Each structure stands twice: as structure tokens, then as C-alpha cells.
Amino acid sequence: MGKPGRQAIGRLLEKIVCDYQIDFTIANAENAAGGMGITPPIVKEILDQGVDVLTSGNHIWAKKEIYPYLNEERRILRPANYPPDVPGRGAGLFESKNGEKIGVINLEGRVFMKHLDCPFRIGEREVEVLRKETPILLVDFHAEATSEKVAMGWFLDGRVTAVLGTHTHIQTSDERILNDGTAYITDVGMTGPLDSVIGIRKQVALNRLLTQIPWKFDVATEEIELQGVIIDVEREAGRSKDIQRIRVPLNERA
């Protein structure tokens, strides 16, 4: 979330990766530029800090300069269920530090959001394509409704390694391994300022709610944390053995 979130990644991620022996890192970066959207220089900044793949969501279109870049940089994804002629790609095959092939799929929900193509059917299609290359498949489901996220978890259980919810910026405590080996959490949380309203300065958010005037987003700067999950994967089968929430305050370091 904005510059504070990027600072947290820059100062905390390397040690977290080392301490937990992480082979592959994914970050949803659609709010990395001033709380709304992302730009090519910021994509490069986050990738240079050790993130392997960037996913996104409905705010990926906020900065026009990212449009052509989505076709050039394969390590940033937009949701796969947008119309086929929009810039970028919604899924990809990548390689971890230990040489494992990893498939990443980005989907966007429809409940309380845009009327896009069905994320369930598009997700199923992308899974079928990527499973020909690897059993390790991670899904970022960028959605508003808890029910839609939970449904996606059960829909893909046993067919993907993890279904990880994003968009609401509030880390949930429902992480679990589903019946057939898929790791699930409704929202991985936010890397950014917690002394805020989902990353926005409190007074700005209150002004928007009290006046119904669309005040410009202003990213907060206090109480910064890196939030996320760490997944332990059974590589041969692509099933998850464990999912662990993490919250690392910037002022305490990792």
C-alpha cells in the first residue's frame, strides 16, 4: 500500500525470506503507487527488492502508463477474467529459486465488483493449462465478498496449491488446509500503514464517508507492517502441508 508498503518490503522482505527459507514470493501490488495503481518504475523497484511475481486487481488500470508495460513485463499479472483484448496476461509459469516450476493465476471476483467474465470458469481453464507444466499452482483471488472467496477455495480444492484472497486489506484468521490439500485464506492482509482505514489516512476516509464527496486518496504513514502468509508445499503433488500467517512491524524489523 503506497510508499509505506514499499518501504516495508525493502527493509523486511530479505530477512523474512532468509529466516523462513522461502523459495518464491508473490505480492499483490495494485495499490503500490500512491494507494491506487502501479507504475513501471515501481514494478521494477518491488521486483528488485526480491518479489518474484506481482499480482493485481481492479486498481491495476489506475495509472495509464502501466498499460503497455503489462505486455512487456511478464512478472506482473492482471486478473485473467478481463476481456481477452485488454493489455497483459492473467496467468503465468515461473521458476522458483530452487528451480521448481510454479504457476500463478490472478482472478477478480464479481460480487459487489465489476461484471467480468466468470472467475470460476476462467480459473478452471487456466488451471487446466498450467497443470500440464506443474502441479504447484497459486491463485490470487481479488474479491470483495467473503462468500465468493470461500466458494473459490472449495471449487479449486485439490486442483491448486493455494487460493489466497486479496482486496479487502484486512488480514483474516481463517487460514487452513482444505480437505484435498489446498491452502486457503480469505485475505492475506496489507503491507502498509495500520493506523489508517485500509491504508488511507483516517480523516480522508471519514470525510469521504461523511460528505459522500470523492476526496483524493491519501496514504497514511504510521504503524507500518508487512503482512502475508507462508505456505509449505509438497512439491511432487502440489499439495500444501501448512499455511502460516505473518505480521512483521517495520519498527521492530524481522
C-alpha cell recorded at residue 128:
487446466
C-alpha cell recorded at residue 165:
484472497
Spatial separation of the C-alpha atoms in residues 91 and 107, rounded to whole Å: 9
| CB-based contact 43:73 (threshold 8 Å) | yes
Strand order in the sheet with 101-108: 91-95, 101-108, 137-142, 162-166, 183-185, 176-177
Strands, E assignment, 81-223: 91-95, 101-108, 137-142, 162-166, 176-177, 183-185, 192-193
Q: How far is CA 131 from CA 94, 105, 248, in A?
A: 13, 12, 33
List active site positions: 59
Spatial separation of the C-alpha atoms in residues 119 and 115, rounded to whole Å: 10
